[in-house]
Chain A
Amino acid sequence: MKRRGLYVVYPLIIFILVILLFPFFVMVSTAFKPISEVYANPPHWIPRGFYVKNFSDIWYKYPLGSYFKNSFIVSIGTTLLNMVICIPAAYAVARLRFRAKSFLMYLFLVVQMFSPIIVVISLFKIIALLGLLDTLMSLILTNSVFTLTFAIWLLSGYFRNIPKEIEEAALIDGCSRIQSIIRILLPVAMPGVVTTIIYTFISAWNEFMFALTFITSMDKRPLTLGLYNFIGRWTVQWQYLMAAAILALIPVVILFMFIERELVQGLAGGAVKG
């Protein structure tokens, strides 16, 4: 890219990042202030001192470690389940011909037209029937249901963009279909796969409604529910809420950092040339 172009890109990126991250700066500013400073009127950006006690307070007073653990289990579980169910389905939609294709695709879409709020009580009855109330598995299952649609639609679209020839070549060489998917298609479709993984993980990590309804014991609470400890009936403990929210987004950011390389691999590393 010409160097002239970079003069446009840098300021634009910085401008956009500042606007996007404005609330994040607010979070950081608030999290490092003691309560007396939080309610300064007018407010100020830079905390007077580097007050880390908010973080230690919430860590010792509340079982944050347990919240994190539960959120991880739910998010990783959902992502795995999703991948196992959706990759075959997306492959079928992208590569195979069958009559119920449009119908099933619409069916997956229909599910997204009903907000969790509308179906939560019925889902509650189903989960109770399955004996899964107050288990993390209930969250894994319900989160998977609601992230299926995007996974299948995106992955199928992504697979379709990849020329069939590369798998054909493998099939001729004697690969089984499953092998051709895992060894040939998926690596080339990595950006799409990575997008789906991130989407599923974040959706599960941030899910609140089902966690509130299905999880009752303290030791199974995920982070989204745990953060509500700081939102009281008569007051919100902003400094604790901000501190906890910062901690809560760290795993997502770290995951993204690791997986980002796969995202932008593109066809450069793919098996098709010319």
Chain B
Amino acid sequence: MRKVLVVGLVVVFLLGVVMGASAQKKKVSVLWAEYDGLTPDYAANLESAFEKEYPDIDLDIISTPWDKMHDRLIAFVAGKQPPDLSVIGTRWLLELLDMGVVEPIEKWVSKELLDNIDPALMEGKIKGVLYGLPVAAGTRLMYYRSDIIDKAPETFEEMLQIAQKINKPEEKFYAVGMSGKKYVELTEYAYYLFGNDGYFFEILPDGSYGKCTVNSEAGVGALTFMNDLVNTHKVTQPGVTAYRRDELQDLFISGNLGIFFSGGFTAALLEQRGAQFSWSVAPMPHFEGKPQSTIIITDSIVLFKDSQAKEEAGKFLDFFYSDPWRLEFDKLVGFPPVTKSLANDPAFQKPVYQVMIQQIPGAKGWPLMPEWPECNDIIWDNIVATFLGEKTPQKAMDDAAQEIDSIRGM
């Protein structure tokens, strides 16, 4: 009887130890985005390597298709089960701030990490407080057929002249690619707007956003030019309102476009699909007399206020941002590095990276406001109305600005 008791006690004791040990294991969940180039085992390797180095932390990388990232995040947050960390498009940060669910991130990561990040890419800094670390950042640039176009145009006006010469619709070769289908990002208009020294909103002295300025001279000018390309000079592919940016990309890669605007990932795809023609990259054009400016788009990783494992989450960030992991990530995903330590790595010396990096100082980002998704749609719908001939550029942008101002209470 005594033996049984002793054995029983030992078993209970051991169970307690085991349970206690696992109870001490902190759980960190990361809502992770499946970038196109990222192989499925990257996340798996990252998870096991991290858990090996930190055996008392249970890391859970929740892989999510990018298109569904936002839906999932909203469901988790509104469903009161937020993850500890999440990759986000930085423009979503404002929504999350409005919901009051994100935590300033600075004090949870190491100083080395913060110093290592290129300050120009810290888009996740709102009113001086850093909420998100940049995961991927890139400026948009111009791709063109170097076998057909000798010198890349510097201005949009030059581009139009070249376009009129090389446009051959009967051979299914179109000079300029223009996307008109509603997609998450209004980038096509941003290229022309920024190139016209315009912006979506006026910036007030205190740094906040004032009235909507898409109906300013710059904004209407940009749209008029876009509309002329499509409907007056007809140098774009037909049916622009049916094309998303990835379909435009496919068109360029199959050799049917002369010029189009995109991000760094297109270069990777061109190589992957074995494009049979010579192509090159150049900075985004601008309108004559206006400064060169393109759009910079960043993704961030943010920490949630309700996280029970903030310190451990910080440790994961330090781990992930270490050189070997960031190098592989950046190479696979196709963006230039966000960390200074990798800036001179030979992997990033290709022209596409160089152009992306050189445009950073003059680049502007999306407006960081919680109502942006609605504003995005309003502007987009009005642009489509212009393409379809339902509104003039001026009326379209006036309508857009009016609706946006009323939503924001301006």
Contact = CB atoms under 8 A, between A and B. Distances in A.
Do the two chains touch directly in the complex (Cβ atoms below 8 Å apart)? yes
Interface of A: 35-36, 39-42, 61-62, 120-121, 124-125, 128, 133, 212-213, 216-218, 228-229, 231-236
Contacts of A121: 74-75, 78-79
Contacts of B266: 234
Contacts, number: 80
B362 interface: no
Interface in B9-54: 29, 33-36, 39-40, 44
A11 B60 CA distance: 56
Contacts of A133: 81
B172 interface: yes
Contacts of B79: 121, 124-125, 128, 213
Interface string B250-288: 110111100000010110010011100000000000000
A226 to B, nearest CB: 10
Interface in B116-159: none
Nearest to B77: A121
B65 interface: yes
Contacts of B75: 120-121, 124, 213
Contact of B35 (A213, A217, A233): A233
Contacts of A124: 75-76, 79, 81
B34 A232 contact: yes
Contacts of B62: 216-217
A42 B255 CA distance: 11
A134 B72 CA distance: 13
Contact of A231 (B35, B40, B67, B255): B67
B63 interface: yes
A256 to B, nearest CB: 29
Contacts of A228: 65, 67-68
Interface of B: 29, 33-36, 39-40, 44, 60, 62-63, 65-68, 71-72, 74-76, 78-81, 172, 245-246, 249-251, 253-256, 263, 265-266, 269, 272-274
A233 B254 contact: no
A128 B77 CA distance: 12
Nearest to A126: B79
Contacts of B68: 212, 228
Given A232-B36, A235-B250, A218 B72 contact: no
A178 to B, nearest CB: 40
Contact of A235 (B80, B81, B246): B246
Contact of A41 (B67, B72, B172, B263): B172
A36 B66 CA distance: 25
Nearest to A117: B71
Contact of A39 (B65, B81, B245, B250): B250
A258 to B, nearest CB: 33
B249 A234 contact: yes
A123 to B, nearest CB: 9
Contacts of B253: 39
A39 B254 contact: yes
B63 A41 contact: no
B246 A236 contact: yes
14 contacts: A36-B273, A41-B251, A62-B40, A121-B79, A124-B76, A128-B80, A213-B72, A216-B62, A217-B60, A228-B65, A233-B33, A233-B67, A234-B269, A236-B246
A37 B253 CA distance: 12
B66 to A, nearest CB: 4
A39 B275 CA distance: 11
Contacts of A218: 44, 63
Contact of B256 (A41, A213, A229, A233): A41
Contacts of A40: 254
Contacts of B72: 212-213
A257 B357 CA distance: 58
A30 to B, nearest CB: 13
A36 B172 contact: no
A34 to B, nearest CB: 10
A235 B67 contact: no
A229 B65 contact: yes
Given A36-B273, A39-B250, A125 B80 contact: yes
Contacts of A42: 172
A40 B255 CA distance: 10
